[in-house]
Homo-oligomer: A and B are copies of this chain.
Amino acid sequence: MEHFKYVGKSVPRVDANVKVTGEARYTVDIAFPNMLWGKLLRSPLAHARILHIDTSKAEKLPGVKAVITGKDTPFTYGVTHMDQKPLHMNKVRHVGDAIAAVAAVDEETAQEAVELIKVDYEELPAVFHPLDAMLPGAPVIHEGVEGNVAARPSYENGDVEKAFAESDYVFEDTFETPPIAHVCPEPHVCVAKWDHSGKLTFYVSSQMPSLARTHFANFLKMPESRIRVITNYVGGAFGSKTLSRFPIEFASVILSRKTGRPVKFQHTREEEFHYSTLQFRFVITVKTGINKDGIITGRHFKAICECGGYVSHGASITSVAGALQGVLYRYKNYKYDGYAVYTNVPYGGAWRGLGNPPVHFAGEAQLNMIAAEIGVDPLELRLTNATHAGDTSATGALVRSCGLSKCLEKVAEEIGWKEKRTNPRPNHGLGIACGVHFTGIRLPTMPDTDFAEAKIMVNDDGSVNLTTSCVDLGQGSNTVLTQIAAEVLGIDMDRINTIYGDTETCPMEWGTRASRVTAIGGMAVKKASENARDQILRAAGEKLEINPDDLELKDNKVLVKGNPSIHMSISEVARFNRYRENGQAIMATNHWDAPSHGNISSAFSFGAKAIEVEVDPGTGRTKVLRVVVANDLGRAINPAGACGQIEGGVHMGLGMASTEEIMLNEKGGMANNQFLDYRVLTPLDMPPITPILVETNDPVGAFGAKGIGEMALIGTPDAFVSAVHAAAGVWIRKLPVTPEKVLLAMKAKK
């Protein structure tokens, strides 16, 4: 193992001080003296034709500066399907669909004006579950979309039917995962501000500021250079601030242009729960053929994804889940049928792990059911079928590094898998599950792009300004990227200023998403740093009259290898290089194209989770006693940060497993859009978590790194459900595992 000075160290976050003091400025903090506040009029009906919109009363309200409707926003958009409009004039397809927007001198006036807008509707029959939506005669949500199925992503390798026919056992089970919210501490928020030269500055809490610029340049037919998108610090995103555009964004841009004043829109917590995209509801049927030796002979997933009123990420997520599930095991015969289905609920989006948490849940829970059924240790069952480095998956993915078996063994060992299963305590149970996720992604349903960029300037004093295409969403990427640059350049971290989140000066990005920042964004930083390093070594070589190959960078100095008494500070080199005749500044740029062409991803991060649960037989209440998580993250650039990701992932995973669910009222609106009703686990609810970092030194990630952000979550509900079964003897196939469900299942079993 190499010896690194910064890489692999749990250094404190570079933004720790400004964050703990409350000084860090988020988009919610943006305010201008003459700023207007905007509000949307949203549909109270889940499905209706709009007959008439009357904004006249709203326009006359004192303090209202402008009211707009769909006439002012003639744009169509979407992630894969261009089926969305910012403001609807003809039809609404879910409760909360936006119809009009107001800009007023304050938030209260804007809200008052919204309530003065009169809309005449012709209500239409609505449908709130994808299975209902697929039935013959179901309401047609988008004209021409047969059976409300918007997309049918599928994978097939081998012949599953033949495999099933030849298998010792065949199992088929159906699972359901509910819609879940992201619950970002900072809700979706934006401020648009035009200047008199016709330039737009757009402050938005976003994972993809460059894409926001591209989108609005297209919508407004403006050069990208005349749009500046600034993210500031981002208070959580979890996928909800990626490729989706939001009605508030269009409304702020258009209302600001119309009024000549900055206009701010910010989701209320109620809006944020239901209208900021959500994790899609999935109904998944898994059919598995298996032999007595535990080898899976074939597997067929049918995954029905409830898009809601618009496709949004529905098609791509349904596709991703099929692609990735195919990478987990050595499936000889594999089939995946995805259905992205319209219903009349608010549309979903990217949510940590995309479709993998639900589809893995179904696959892994069923595997545990099979293990119980055929009397095989679920750990052994997984090890028997697990993917290994060098494999090419049933879905065509080349796996360059793989710590799956090691992760499984590690969590089993750490939780005491064998001992505890041999001597089970009453009402206690262990569950295990594993998973795989990508590090960046390249799929036919998405733009064929998976790059990151970075720019470096070495200052005269040997300090560095590093500009990255990646946005720090709170996950700590700026710290990791600074570590990478420090490692390559031999420059102290506190001399490196890592800058991000401003499209005017930062290079273009393809998003802080898809668990790609450390490995791919980090590689752009590494390559740019290497370029700068080479310039430093060349200049120092000229000055010292020594071959650059015999020089190295360390402790802010250029040293002669093996003779460190001969040295120059990097500052001296930078100044020598800039101020000599025909001098040059040490500046470098890099565009790193992830080597994922022809592959699903450039790298696959694997992981396993073991969970111990106690179930109260009297109430059905579950208590998680311990979660052990092993993640193959290639290389831990910042182990503390990686462990933080694991804790966050488990937190969301346990929420998905046990408490979180968006519930609808009879109108199709959200019944529990308050923190009191929507049950996010609190710190007091959290069990002890033991993170284990498995390093496989991936050949293509920065310093061997692979993603971790999403894999940290995947598998949690699967292991949880299996632990509940081990403790209580019942299988809960529909998340979340509430005490009520456990109790009813236990009663039914009796």
Contact = CB atoms under 8 A, between A and B. Distances in A.
Contacts of A377: none
Given A449-B579, A457-B507, A589 B593 contact: no
Nearest to A585: B591
A384 interface: no
A197 B18 contact: yes
Given A197-B18, A499-B504, A587 B589 contact: yes
A214 interface: yes
A578 B469 CA distance: 14
Nearest to A503: B465
A268 interface: no
B593 A583 contact: yes
Interface in A16-40: 16-18, 20-21, 23
A172 B524 CA distance: 68
Contacts of A587: 453, 455, 507, 589, 591
A197 B17 contact: yes
Given A226-B463, A495-B223, A508-B459, A195 B578 contact: no
A448 interface: yes
Interface string A563-589: 000000000000000110111110101
A223 B463 contact: yes
Contacts of A461: 214, 217, 223-224
Contacts of A585: 453, 507-508, 589, 591
Contacts of A214: 460-461
A204 to B, nearest CB: 18
Nearest to A22: B196
Nearest to A16: B197
A223 to B, nearest CB: 4
Interface residues of A, number: 55
Copies held by the complex: 2
A496 interface: yes
A505 interface: yes
A451 B494 contact: no
Contact of A225 (B18, B225, B497): B497
B223 A583 contact: no
A467 interface: yes
A464 interface: yes
A503 to B, nearest CB: 8
A15 interface: yes
A292 interface: no
A465 B499 CA distance: 17
A468 to B, nearest CB: 12
A500 to B, nearest CB: 11
A505 B467 contact: yes
A232 B577 CA distance: 29
A14 interface: yes
A57 interface: no
Given A17-B197, A195-B23, A581-B597, A226 B460 contact: no
A17 B194 CA distance: 12
A461 B222 CA distance: 9
Given A508-B459, A581-B593, A465 B17 contact: no
Contacts of A467: 505
A494 B467 CA distance: 25
B593 A225 contact: no
B196 A460 contact: no
Given A197-B14, A463-B226, A508-B459, A591 B579 contact: no
A23 B460 contact: no
Nearest to A584: B591
A300 to B, nearest CB: 33
Interface in A503-546: 504-508
A133 to B, nearest CB: 36
Interface in A418-467: 448-449, 451, 453, 455, 457, 459-461, 463-465, 467
Contacts of A597: 581
Contacts of A196: 17-18, 20-21, 23
Interface centre among A196, A217, A463 (most CB of B within 10 A): A196
B508 A224 contact: no
A14 B223 CA distance: 15
A269 to B, nearest CB: 25
B496 A225 contact: yes
Interface in A297-330: none
B579 A225 contact: no
Interface string A327-351: 0000000000000000000000000
B465 A505 contact: yes
A275 B191 CA distance: 41
Contacts of A589: 585, 587, 589
A497 B504 contact: yes
Contacts of A579: 448-449
A689 B460 CA distance: 45
A597 B597 CA distance: 50
Contacts of A23: 195-196
Contacts of A453: 585, 587
A465 B583 contact: no
Contacts of A508: 457, 459-460, 578, 585
30 contacts: A14-B197, A15-B197, A16-B197, A17-B197, A18-B196, A18-B197, A199-B497, A214-B460, A223-B459, A223-B461, A223-B463, A223-B495, A225-B495, A226-B497, A448-B579, A455-B587, A457-B507, A465-B504, A465-B505, A467-B505, A497-B504, A502-B505, A505-B505, A508-B578, A581-B593, A582-B593, A583-B591, A583-B593, A585-B591, A589-B589
Given A223-B494, A507-B587, 9 more contacts: A16-B197, A17-B198, A214-B461, A224-B463, A225-B497, A451-B583, A505-B506, A507-B585, A583-B593
- The 7 A-B pairs with the shortest beta carbon distances in the complex, nearest first, are A223-B463, A505-B505, A225-B463, A225-B497, A585-B591, A224-B459, A587-B589
